[in-house]
Amino acid sequence: MSDFDTIIEGGYVVDGTGCPGAYTDIAITNGEIVEIGNLKGKSAENRILAEGKIVAPGHITEHTHYDAAIFWDPYCSDSGENGITTIANANCGFGLAPVRKTDQERCMQMMETTEQIPVAHQRAALPWNWETFPEYLDVVRNQPKGLNVSTYLPLNPLIIYVMGIEAAKTRRPTPEEMTELHKLINEAMDAGALGISMSVMGAEGNSHLDVDGSPMPTDVLDEHTILELTRAVVERGEGVIQMLSQIVMFGDRSIAEKVAEQAKGTAVRIIHNVFLTHDLLPQMVDEDLAWLNAMREKGYNITAGAQLNRGWIEGGLRELDSAAGQLNGIRRISACSTDEEVLELIRQPEFVQDFSEEYANSGPSNGAAGLEGQTVLDVGTNDTLKKYLGKSLGEIATEESRDIVEVLLTLSSETELALQLKSGCISAEDSSQALKIMKNSYTVPGGSDGGAHTKSFGMGHYPTDLLIRFSREEKLMSVEEMHFQLAHKPARSLLIKDRGTLLPGFKADIIIYDLDELFFDRERYDIVHDMPNGDWRRKSRSGGYSYIIVNGAVTHQNDKPNGNTPGEFIQVTRNLG
């Protein structure tokens, strides 16, 4: 009989704590790390030679939307092949339970309009053998998984389940309804929900829209109702409250302050979303960090998720909600049901004028350089427009003395919506901004949004990009520092106690790689046809990991999945009955 299941030999072990790494061996048994040190002479069923490679904890991401994708892709690509071994689903209040049978179609439609997860994919893959949230978690537990999954209870389907869609958007819950909401929140957390999630961005400047173009229920909740809902978690005294309350100048994070004040003195963690970097707004980083530090100085148990990777957005006019969905003009386009409706809308002079005036007053909505930074990738079959290939909309507008919105809408119209664009980088090219955010103790880099917006981007590459950028190319952070940022920090933010670190007694979620072999192609996303019914998505060209190990079992070797599905459902809450 062997001493261990697996021994990883001779690698440079970076344990995730930020402490200096060392060349040593790791022993794994029953999915856990049981010994670290010189294991010469010890036996194992499997041996992995890691000489010349880094051995580190698997990346953990605290913001994903693989709620549907887990039913057709156990590895949640392109997170799984980029070394992510643990995800947190159902962020921002959007998810698949609780849902009555009569509301399943509408739920799928809302997932499409808010997170751009096509209804056709959901119809083809979701078994819908649940109604309540505990029933849904039972299904997720039994679903084969190539990585570890945790999930919030999303408040939008919960409120609709209790109140109905119209009431959820037009009035406060009655005392009886609030009692039922509290009951269901506690039942969900007893069953394993991390806590609750919500988008509270308000009605204006919000890209999360319902099927009719109106805001989602949580985005129109008043402060009193929000605090009454979060009180269920606070009184329980455990778990996480995830809140999307501000993106750059849109939204109002004062509600996150009030919830954090409500939870002060408890073990409840508030995760605020989202911090961004922006080359045109460098002062924003200092302002955000000053706000966060002030919250912590008051004793509030709050962290902030930060989007720092060098991803971008590709797509046509109808996909621009991912880059500029805060603009009403884009939201009106997104609310159209068909291409014909879009074309009719954008050919109306009144709409063009209104959109132009709005954009002139708003400007770039995020770090993707606004409309000016959108580069023309494709103009379809209209040869007269091929002169614009490779040019940005800003360059075209300047060269031809035209309004930027008019350029966008005219090209979309003349190509019959075949126009394809690539945004600028969604975060600042100035590395000092991201570095400043990561150096703060209370921020968590990452948040791939994986599983959502798959026809616009695939950002599971973010940990690979951060390692390449900050540890290899610019040498601004050691690999020890980076793995603290990519594993230990998010694990603690999510209250996960036994992952994110390579120490005896911790789960064996491990990546093995050569830093020089990691790759991330910033030119284009690939189009891959691996979605339900053979449909396509955009996927980053990234990877380079020799081994990815989940709960002691190899899931990927040299960027290829091997069919193993050792992933587990992660529960951080207790069953209080």
The kind and range of the H/E element at 490 are: helix 489-493
Closest CA to 71 of 13, 21, 117: 117
Q: Are 511 and 58 in contact (CB under 8 A)?
A: yes
Encoded tokens for 183: 């009951």
pLDDT of residue 362: 78
pTM (predicted TM-score): 0.95
Average pLDDT over residues 18-36: 98
Please give the C-alpha separations between residue 250 and each of 49, 104, 246, 275, in angstroms, as whole numbers. 50, 31, 6, 12
| Chosen CATH of 59-312+426-513 out of 3.20.20.210, 3.20.20.140, 3.40.605.10, 3.90.550.10 | 3.20.20.140
pLDDT tens profile 97-125: 999 999 999 999 999 989 999 999 999 99
Per-residue pLDDT, 326: 77
Question: At 25, which helix (H) or strand (E)?
Answer: strand 22-29
What is the pLDDT averaged over residues 6-28? Answer: 98
> Do residues 77 and 530 make contact, with C-beta atoms less than 8 angstroms apart?
yes
Which tokens is 69 given? 């994708």
Residues 6+ apart with CB under 8 A from 137: 151, 188, 191, 192, 193, 569
According to the model, what pLDDT value does residue 323 have? 74
**Mean pLDDT of the 38-45 span:** 97
3-state secondary structure of 36: strand
Q: Looking at residues 160-168, what average pLDDT do you find?
A: 97
Q: Which of 311, 273, 241 is nearest to 453 (CA)?
A: 311
Q: Torsion over CA of 392, 398, 404 and 410, rounded to 10 degrees?
A: -80
CA–CA separation, 81 vs 547, rounded Å? Answer: 10
Percent of the chain whose pLDDT exceeds 70: 99
Kindly state the tokens that stand for 318.
């109808």
Domain boundaries, the chain: 4-58+514-561, 59-312+426-513, 334-422
**pLDDT tops 90 at residue 197:** yes
Q: Residue 577 CB: number of other CB atoms within 10 A?
A: 6
Tokens coding 549: 């190990």
Q: List the structure tokens of 450.
A: 């994986």
- Whether the per-residue pLDDT at 366 is higher than 50: the answer is no
Q: Let me know the angle formed at the C-alpha of 216 by 404 and 325, rounded to the nearest 5 degrees.
A: 15
**CB-CB contact of 430 with 279 (8 Å):** yes
In 3-state terms, what secondary structure has residue 56? strand
Q: What is the pLDDT of residue 203?
A: 82
| Alpha helical stretches, state H, 213-348 | 223-236, 254-263, 283-297, 321-324, 328-334, 339-346
Question: Where is average pLDDT lowest: 206-220, 253-267, 437-451?
Answer: 206-220
Beta strands in 302-460, from DSSP E residues, in sequence order: 302-307, 314-315, 375-378, 420-422, 443-445
Structure token pair of residue 8: 């990883």
Residue with tokens 């955009």: 538
Per the omega criterion (within 30 degrees of 0), is the bond before 98 cis?
yes
**DSSP bridge partners of 49:** 9
| Same fold yes or no, 4-58+514-561 and 59-312+426-513 | no
Mean per-residue pLDDT, 134-163: 98
Query: According to the model, what pLDDT value does residue 447 have?
Result: 77
Would you say 259 and 230 are in contact if contact means Cβ atoms under 8 Å apart? Answer: yes
Q: Calculate Rg over the CA atoms of the chain.
A: 23
Q: What are residue 271's DSSP bridge partners?
A: 242, 303
* pLDDT at residue 364, rounded to an integer: 57
Tell me the backbone φ, ψ of residue 22, rounded to 5 degrees.
-155, 150
Looking at the chain, the whole-number percentage of residues with pLDDT higher than 90 is 88
Summarize the confidence of residues 421-448 as an average pLDDT: 93
Give the pLDDT band (50/70/90) at residue 213. confident
Residue 519's H or E segment, with its range, is strand 519-520
Q: Which residues pair with 545 in a beta bridge?
A: 513
Domain 4-58+514-561, architecture per CATH: Roll (2.30)
Q: What is the mean pLDDT of the chain?
A: 95
Residue 239: Cβ-neighbour burial (10 angstroms; 0-12, 13-18, 19+): buried
**What is the average pLDDT across 404-422?**
96
Give the CA dihedral 388, 394, 397, 399, nearest 10 degrees.
Answer: -70
CB 502 within 8 A of CB 16: yes
Q: What is the pLDDT of residue 335?
A: 82
| β-sheet bridge partners, residue 355 | none
Determine whether 304 is exposed, middle or buried from the number of CB atoms within 10 Å of its CB (0-12, 13-18, 19+): buried
Over residues 360-366, the mean pLDDT reads 67
Q: pLDDT, tens digit, for every residue of 440-464?
A: 999 999 778 999 999 999 899 999 9
Q: What is the pLDDT of residues 503-530, one digit of tens each?
A: 999 999 999 999 999 999 999 999 999 9
Q: How many CA atoms, within 13 angstroms, populate the side-chain half-sphere of residue 44? A: 23
Q: For position 448, what pLDDT does the model report?
A: 85
Question: Comparing C-alpha atoms, which of 142, 404, 361 is closest to residue 412?
Answer: 404
